[in-house]
Amino acid sequence: MEIWINPACSKCRSALTLLDAEGAEYTVRRYLEDVPSPDEIRDVLGRLGLEPWDITRTQEADAKELGLKEWPRDADARERWITALAEHPKLIQRPIITAQDGTAVVARTDEAVRDALGR
Strands 104-106 and 96-98: antiparallel
**Close Cβ partners of 100 (under 8 Å, ≥ 6 residues apart):** 1, 119
Residue 9 annotated among the catalytic residues of the structure:
yes
Phi and psi based region of residue 23 (left: phi greater than 0; alpha: psi -120 to 50; beta: remaining): left
From 9, 24, 28, 112, active-site residue: 9
List residues bridging with 92 in a β-sheet.
56
Give buried/exposed letters for 90-100 (b at 16+ CB in 10 A, else e): ebbbbbbbbbe
Q: How many CA atoms lie within 13 A of 56 on its CB side?
A: 25
Q: Which residues carry out catalysis?
A: 9
